[in-house]
Structure 1
Amino acid sequence: MVFVTGATGILGRIIVLELLKKGKKVRAAKRPASDIAEVKHSYKFYTENPDDFFTKIEWINVDFEDIHSLQSALNGVTEVYHCAAKVSFHPKDEKEMYRTNIKGTENLLFACDQSNVQKFLHVSSIAVLDGVNENGELDEESDFNPKIDHSAYAISKHLSEMEVWRASAEGLNTIIINPGMIIGTGNWKQSSGELFSTFEKSSFTFSGSSAYVDVRDVAKIAIDLMGKNKFGERFILISESKKYSEIGNQIRRKLNLKDAKILSKSILNTGRWLNIFFGWLIPQLKMATRTNIESVTSSSIISNQKVKKVLNFDFIPVQESIDFHLNNYINDKKLNKL
C-alpha cells in the first residue's frame, strides 16, 4: 500500500494517478472539507479512463496534528509520498505554514517510525537552495544560508527538510525532490494552480524569472526515483527558467488580453514603504515585503542535470506545458467550473 499526502493538490493527485496506472494500491490523504469531485474532474485531462482510476483510490481524512490519525492512515503502508504543504508568500499565513509544513512533517515521520513504512519521498522546493557551484548555478549541493533573508515559506520548507534528513540518519529510506513552480491542471484557486488566473486577472508582472516544471514530469520522476531506491539524496526538478513576463504574456495572449506591464524594482520598493505606513489600511500592500520583492525581481541559473543523468529524463518544454494546461483552464472556464 502506498500513502500519498496532499492528494487533492495539483501534484499529489497526479502522483496518485500515476501510481494507479502502475497497478499500485493507493491510500490518499485529504481534509474533511476537500473537494475530491474536483480531483475526479481534473483526471479527464490526464487519462481516457478517469472514472476507472478514481474509483480505485482509498480516500482517508487525516489530521496532521493527531499522531493517532496518522498512525491509522499508515496501517499496512510501505511507501509514503509527502506532498502536503501550505504554500503562501503572504505574512498572514506564516503561522499556518510553520504548523503545516514543519510540525506536520515531523508528526508524519514520527508515525512512520512506528509503522512498516520502508520508503519516504518528501516534496520540498527550490526555494530552499542558496549558493552556486563553479558554473554559477544552483544545484543539489547548494545549502540553505540562514544569513540571507528568506520567505517564511522557504524557511518552513528548509526546516521540514531537516526533519526528513534526521529521519534518514535514523534509518528511514528517504528522498527529497525540489521542484520549481509546478504547472498543472485543476486546483485552480490554490497554490501553483493559481498561475493562470493570476496572469489573467493582473495586467502587471515583474522583471525577474522563475524555474518551471510540468506536474506530469514531477510525478513520473518521483515514482521512478522511489523505484530505483535513490535514497539519502535530493533532486532538483525543473524544465527551464523563464521570465515572468514571458510566461504571463504567453497566457494573456492566448486569453486575448494585452501584454502585462513590468513593475520595476523601484516601484515595488515604493510599495514596500507604503506597506510600512498603510499596510493596515490596504491589505494588498502586505505582500510588498523585502523578500518577496527580491524574489520577483531576481533570476537564478538552476541545474537540472543530476536527475536527467540518473533517469535519462527529458523534461516537457515550458511553452508546451503552458499550452497544455492553459487549454484545460480555458475548457474549465467554458464549463463554468471556476
Structure 2
Amino acid sequence: MVFVTGATGILGRVIVLELLKRGKTVRAAKRPASDIDEVRHSYKFYSENSEDFFNKIEWVNVDFDDIHSLQNALNGVTEVYHCAAKVSFHPKDEKEMYHTNIKGTENLLFACEDSSVQKFLHVSSIAVLDGFNEKGELDEESDFNPKIEHSAYAITKHLSEMEVWRASAEGLNTIIINPGMIIGTGNWGKSSGDIFPTFKKNSFTFSGNSAYVDVRDVAKIAVDLMEKDQFGERFIIISESKKYAEIGNQIRRKLGLKDASILSKGILNTGRWLNAFFGWLIPQLKMATKTNIDSVTSSSVISNQKVKQALNFEFIPVQESVDFHLNNYINDKKLNKL
C-alpha cells in the first residue's frame, strides 16, 4: 500500500495516477472539503482509462494535527509520498505555511515511527537552494543559507526538509525532490495551477526567469527514484529555465491576448515603498516585498544533471509542456461555458 498526501493537488494527483499505472495500491489523503470530482475530471486529460484508475483510489480524510488520524491512514502502508504543502508568497499566508509545511511534515514523520512505512519521499522546492557551484549554477549541494533573506515559503520548505533529514538519520529511508515551477492540468487558480489564469488576467510580467517542469515528469521521476531506492539523496527536478515574459507571452498569444509589459525592478521597488504607506488600503501591494521582488527580477541557472544521469531521463521541453496543459485549460473553460 502506498500513501500519498496532497493527493488533490496538481502534483499529488498525478503521482497517484502514475502509481496506479504501475499497478500499485494507493491510499490518497484529502480534506473533508476537497473536491475529488475535480481530480476525476482532470484525469481525462492524462489517461484514456481515467475512470478505471480513479475508481481504484482509496480516499481518506486526514487531519495532520491529529497523530491518531495519521497513524490510521498509515495502517498497512509501506511507502509515503508527501506532497501536501501550502504554496504562497503572500504575507497573509505565512502562519498557515509554517503550520502546514513544517508541523504537518513533523507530525507525519512522527506517525511513521513504529509503523509499516519503509520508504518516504518528500516534495520540497528549488526555493531552498542557495550558493552557486564552480559553473555558476545552483545544484543539489546548494545548501540553504540562513544569513540571506528568504520568503516565508522557502523557510518553511527548508525547515520541513530538516525534519526529513532528521528522520533519515534515525533510520527511515528518505528521498527529497526539489521541483521547479510545476506546469500541470487542473486545480486551476490554486498553487501551481494558477499559472494560466494569472497570465490571462494580468497584462504585465517580470524581467527575471524561473525554472519550469511538467507535472508528468515530476511524477515519473518521483516514482522511479523510489523504485530505485535512491535513499538519503535529494534531486532537483527541472526541465528548463525560461523568462517569465517568454512563458507569459506564449500563454497570452494562445489566448488571443497582446503581449505582457515587463515591470522593471524600479517600478516594483516603488510598489514596495507604496506598500509601506498604503498596503493596508490596497491588498495587492502586500506582495511587493523585497524577497518577492528579488525573486521575479533575478535569473539563476539551475542544474538538472544529477537526476538526468541517475535515471537517464529526458524532460519534456517547457514549450511543449505549456502547450499541452494550456490546451487543457482552454478546453476546460469551454466546457464550463456549455
Common topology (TM > 0.5): yes
Q: Tell me if structure 2 keeps the 8 A contact 1:71–1:114.
A: no
Q: Which amino acid in the other structure matches residue 327 of structure 1? A: N
Corresponding residue for residue 219 of structure 2: 219
Q: Which amino acid in the other structure matches residue 208 of structure 2? A: G
1:25-74 superposed Cα distances (whole Å, 9 cap, x missing partner): 00000000000000000000000011100000000000001100000000
Deviation at 1:187, TM superposition (A): 0.3
1:274-315 superposed Cα distances (whole Å, 9 cap, x missing partner): 000000010000000000000000010000000000000000
Corresponding residue for residue 168 of structure 2: 168
Q: Which amino acid in the other structure matches residue 217 of structure 2? A: D
Deviation at 1:14, TM superposition (A): 0.3
Q: Which amino acid in the other structure matches residue 184 of structure 2? A: G
Query: In structure 1, how many angstroms separate the alpha carbons of the residues matched to 2:126 and 2:111?
Result: 27
Corresponding residue for residue 31 of structure 2: 31
Q: Which amino acid in the other structure matches residue 19 of structure 2? A: L
Q: Which amino acid in the other structure matches residue 63 of structure 1? A: D
Q: Kindly report which structure 2 residues correspond to 1:255-334, keeping only aligned pairs within 5 A, or say none.
A: 255-334=255-334
TM-score (norm 1): 0.99
Deviation at 1:337, TM superposition (A): 7.3
List runs of 5+ in structure 1 lacking aligned partners. none
Deviation at 1:243, TM superposition (A): 0.2
Which secondary structure does the structure 1 equivalent of 2:336 belong to? coil
Q: Which amino acid in the other structure matches residue 55 of structure 1? A: N
Which secondary structure does the structure 2 equivalent of 1:336 belong to? helix
Query: In structure 1, how many angstroms separate the alpha carbons of the residues matched to 2:222 and 2:50?
Result: 21
Q: Kindly report which structure 2 residues correspond to 1:97-246, keeping only aligned pairs within 5 A, or say none.
A: 97-246=97-246
Q: Kindly report which structure 2 residues correspond to 1:57-136, keeping only aligned pairs within 5 A, or say none.
A: 57-136=57-136
Deviation at 1:114, TM superposition (A): 2.6
Q: Kindly report which structure 2 residues correspond to 1:10-29, keeping only aligned pairs within 5 A, or say none.
A: 10-29=10-29
* Fraction of identical pairs, as percent: 87
Which secondary structure does the structure 1 equivalent of 2:137 belong to? coil
Q: Tell me if structure 2 keeps the 8 A contact 1:209–1:296.
A: yes
1:62-102 superposed Cα distances (whole Å, 9 cap, x missing partner): 00011000000000000000000000000000000000000
Query: In structure 2, how many angstroms separate the alpha carbons of the residues matched to 1:11 and 1:92?
Result: 24
Which secondary structure does the structure 2 equivalent of 1:121 belong to? strand
Spell out structure 1 runs of 4+ moving beyond 3 A: none
Query: In structure 2, how many angstroms separate the alpha carbons of the residues matched to 1:321 and 1:17?
Result: 18
Q: Tell me if structure 2 keeps the 8 A contact 1:133–1:139.
A: yes
1:222-281 superposed Cα distances (whole Å, 9 cap, x missing partner): 000000000000000000000000000000000000000000000000000000000001
Query: In structure 1, how many angstroms separate the alpha carbons of the residues matched to 2:318 and 2:114?
Result: 41
Query: In structure 1, how many angstroms separate the alpha carbons of the residues matched to 2:114 and 2:31?
Result: 23
Q: Which amino acid in the other structure matches residue 68 of structure 2? A: H
Q: Tell me if structure 2 keeps the 8 A contact 1:179–1:213.
A: yes
Query: In structure 1, how many angstroms separate the alpha carbons of the residues matched to 2:114 and 2:90?
Result: 35
TM-score (norm 2): 0.99
Which secondary structure does the structure 2 equivalent of 1:81 belong to? strand
Query: In structure 2, how many angstroms separate the alpha carbons of the residues matched to 1:148 and 1:56?
Result: 46
Deviation at 1:189, TM superposition (A): 1.7
Query: In structure 1, how many angstroms separate the alpha carbons of the residues matched to 2:139 and 2:283?
Result: 36
List runs of 5+ in structure 2 lacking aligned partners. none
Query: In structure 2, how many angstroms separate the alpha carbons of the residues matched to 1:89 and 1:133?
Result: 27
Q: Which amino acid in the other structure matches residue 244 of structure 2? A: Y
Q: Tell me if structure 2 keeps the 8 A contact 1:105–1:163.
A: yes
